[in-house]
Amino acid sequence: MYRGKDESWPQHSRPEARRALEEARQAGWWFRPSSGHTFGRLRCLHPEQHLDAEACVVPIYSTSGSEDGSETARVVRDAVRKCAHERHPPPEPDLDPEGAAHLATGTLSQVEALAEAGEGLLDKAVALSEAGAVLEAALGELAVDSNAAIESSDEKLAALERKAFEADGRAYAAASRAVASDPWPPDEGAQELLDQARYAYDEAARLVAHATGSSKAAALNAEADRIRIRLDRFAGLLRDHQ
């Protein structure tokens, strides 16, 4: 999801690139975070109002170029300086409470799917970690006694690998529902899905506030609270695993 001038952008690790991205933000550009080698993507026009073909689009990389980020900064500043498109702040959606409630319901469903996907990836990581420990213990036994019986270890290992495979399947299905399964798995794993879920939750909370007075207002507030608790619990499990 793209972030605008009034939202926080992730901080690039290289100082010159970081400063140039802040200049682009102040100039009214939009940024979509990514992870891994690709840090994100800049575009000059509001993403919901214009096709990419109508906008300046600049990929931003995490590690390419000089150590201080000056090459990335030059690319960003050149794009901002040369852009001939006229930018306007996006209009606030003119939503009645019932319309906001409808959008909030869909966004909360997306948040929950992202949380489910992240939890699935975390379950997969835990199962694979346990499988690695079982394998290491079995190899240790064989190192001491080449005739050691390790059939039970084989069974445990197979069960854990099956558990990891099933967790990955559940995670992929949930990510697909949230339109977040490409690429799979995400470069930053469960943490990336948690970040996306939190960002989508902020949008959902805004819509829930707009839905005040609708027939679904009370249910939406309860649902938002439930999903927030789920995200907090997921974040805690992720911290413990790391």
Q: What pLDDT is attached to residue 88?
A: 60
Residue ranges for the chain with pLDDT beneath 70: 35-36, 48-53, 87-94
145-156: per-residue pLDDT in tens?
Answer: 887 777 888 899
**List of domains in the chain:** 15-82 (3.30.310), 97-241 (no CATH)
166-188: per-residue pLDDT in tens?
Answer: 999 999 999 999 878 877 888 77
Q: What pLDDT is attached to residue 149?
A: 74
Q: What pLDDT is attached to residue 128?
A: 96
Q: What pLDDT is attached to residue 51?
A: 60
Q: What pLDDT is attached to residue 50?
A: 60
Residue from 126, 129, 147, 152 nearest 234 by CA: 126
Q: What pLDDT is attached to residue 8?
A: 81
The model's pTM? 0.64
